[in-house]
Amino acid sequence: MDDQAKIALLQKVIQFNTVNGNEQPLAEYLKEVLAQHHIDSQLVKFADNRTCLVAEIGNQPGKVLAFAGHMDTVATGDPAKWKYPPFSGEIVNGNIYGRGSVDMKGGLTAMVISLIQMKKAGLPKHGKVRLLLSVDEEVGGQGSMLLTQKGYADDLDAMVMGEASSNQLEYAHCGSFDYEIESFGKTAHSSRPDLGINAVANLARFIDGERTAFADAQPSPVLGKVIHSVTVFHGGEQLNSIPDYAYLKGNVRTVPECDNEETQARLQKIIDQLNKQGAQLRLKVVASFAPVVTDPHDPFISLVSDAVAATKGSKPKVIVSHGATDASRYSLAERPFSFVEYGPGDDRQSHQINEHLLVDDFLQAPTIYQKIAEKFLI
């Protein structure tokens, strides 16, 4: 494919509205594109109008390398605030605009192109390259969980996650534990609070306990301390009534030393203590992504770094990330594999109004992915 064909493919991918819950049309389109280049793929249904895609090239004995990404995006926000329509894929001053251009249709399109290029070149000579494109990454990661449960990650030796990485190579990321706390009370007139149970006040007591819930948690030598925040609080309806219901939501960025299971236990401990004192609180787990850490000395990190340098002229900075990816799900597979995150785009553009991707950055990515495969599958 020449550069214009690559850009046109990315524009077409951006023009699909795949705000979480609407990924199937894009999956079907990419299946057709791959078929035109003699690459077989499978559609793996998750739910109505929600379909993952799995493709593979190479059938010789050897290692298995995965290129992974997600097709869904976050919502656009107010379209009137965009300079260019959020599903236009319009190119202005060397940037391509659109929801998902950075997070992460640039990366997944580059991975599709890399498979096409390798297939045409008769590569790989050894092993396999597997493309895993999921649904639902932006909400619950249920697409990658489905692919993991179906065994698509069980034989992997390494994975490249194509999330935008700002020309940096990320070899580890925190987990993410999303939760909701419900508080149940009893309504009464505000002049007689003794006759009621204040659901808001009891929920506020949970926040007091949450502030120090991780104070003694062991930090990770790679990822650092646990990061935790209460981010949503709702309660009460009537100014002069004791509220009988309230809820909050929070997020914890977990590390292996204080993983998601321990995080849940620490939050539940606060709830149990408050419930013994008369509160009626209930914990609900909204989403749980495990932390993922590759050994900093893993040779795969150096291999990917060399592939980037061979294309861009300099090695990327090797860092860790506090975000979470589908790798949290894939890492639950039967055996461990090396993991890095590298993709085109400035990750500060993710989820932003006027999200845009530098076209030149995108055009270099398929070559980088192909070099990774060539170096790894020998």
Nearest to 76 by CA among 29, 30, 26, 22: 22
Helix then strand count (H, E) for the chain reads 9, 16
28 is catalytic: no
- From the centroid of its chain, how far is CA 164? 11
**Active-site hit among 23, 103, 136, 137:** 137
Distance CA 247, CA 90 (A): 41
Q: Which amino acid is at 44?
A: V
| CA-to-CA dists, residue 20 to 13, 97, 140, angstroms | 15, 19, 10
Helix (H) or strand (E) holding 251: strand 245-254
For residue 159, is the peptide bond before it cis, meaning its omega torsion is within 30 degrees of 0? no
**Active-site hit among 72, 210, 326, 347:** 72
137 is catalytic: yes
Residue 296 makes CB contacts below 8 A (sequence gap 6+) with 171, 172, 222, 318
Whether 24 contacts 109, CB under 8 Å: no
Nearest to 201 by CA among 272, 147, 279, 107: 279
Q: Hey, which residues are catalytic here?
A: 72, 137
